[in-house]
Structure 1
Amino acid sequence: MHTLFKKVIWMLKKKLFRFGAGNWRKPRDPCGGVRQGHVSVSEDFLAIQQLADRGAKPWRLNPVETARKVGIEELGFDVADVFRFESYRLDYDSGLNRAQVKAQHGSCLFLIELYQPVRRGTTGIWAVESVTLLNE
């Protein structure tokens, strides 16, 4: 009976406290698994631009809405997360318009960087380039 009790306690520790092989494991990611770093979402930007030119996917013309939609569908953000515009700038080296959007995901604050891959200005679509955690 004593051995069975030890096994039950061990299994509870392993399951509830993530205890295994004599070492405590690192706690779960407080940022909920949001993908970070350079973003590589396979998208056909020319086709998306053509759709936007015909009035489809109007959210692609707004960097905040693009960050929200792509962030939720592809990057691990939640529908309850708050996205807000931070800044625009022209990258003179590449000739691309860039935008920054901040996203609050639980206690984690992220910077989402976007660019216009096809056309600059109000009629150009936006694409997510990178996601960076700003706080820990």
Structure 2
Amino acid sequence: MACPEVVTGHVEIPGEDYSRIQRAVDNGQYLWRLSPVRTAQEVGTVHLGLRTNDAYTFVEQYRDRDSGLMHAVVRVKHRNCTYLVELYQPEKQGKGGIWVVHRVTEL
């Protein structure tokens, strides 16, 4: 593995309370949570070993047919490694809903 500092696989951030985060965003805090790219960047640098100055590229957004939840994919170029960061909206769907990181996959 070329970038061992990066956490891959299913992501579970300890103490992350989605309804509390959604309420905070509704009150104007943590507005970066409304952007999948900014969420990948913030959560990635704090918890997953990515860096703020890595190249973050929005790939796609789609609604999961089974769960009805919105998902997004962000590609991250970190040093000589490339990752796909998968996010979803656990509380509200669409505009105004927070994004959380679900999985990181190395390409």
2:69 corresponding residue in structure 1: 96
1:30: how far off? 2.0
**Identical pairs, percent:** 44
- Higher relative CO (CA 8 A, sep ≥ 6), structure 1 or 2? 2
Q: Extract unaligned runs of 5+ from structure 2.
A: none
Q: What does residue range 64-103 of structure 1 map to in structure 2 within 5 Å?
A: 64-103=37-76
In 1, the alpha carbon distance for the partners of 2:66 and 2:98 equals 20
1:72: how far off? 0.2
Q: Extract unaligned runs of 5+ from structure 1.
A: 1-28
Q: What does residue range 32-43 of structure 1 map to in structure 2 within 5 Å?
A: 32-42=4-14, 43=16
In 2, the alpha carbon distance for the partners of 1:64 and 1:79 equals 11
In 1, the alpha carbon distance for the partners of 2:98 and 2:12 equals 16
Residue 9 of structure 2 aligns with an amino acid whose one-letter code is G
How many residue pairs match? The answer is 106
2:94 to 101, 113, 121: 121
Q: 4+ residue stretches of structure 1 with deviation over 6 A?
A: none
> In terms of Rg, which structure is larger?
1
Q: What's the RMSD between the two structures over aligned residues? A: 0.8
2:28 to 30, 33, 55: 55
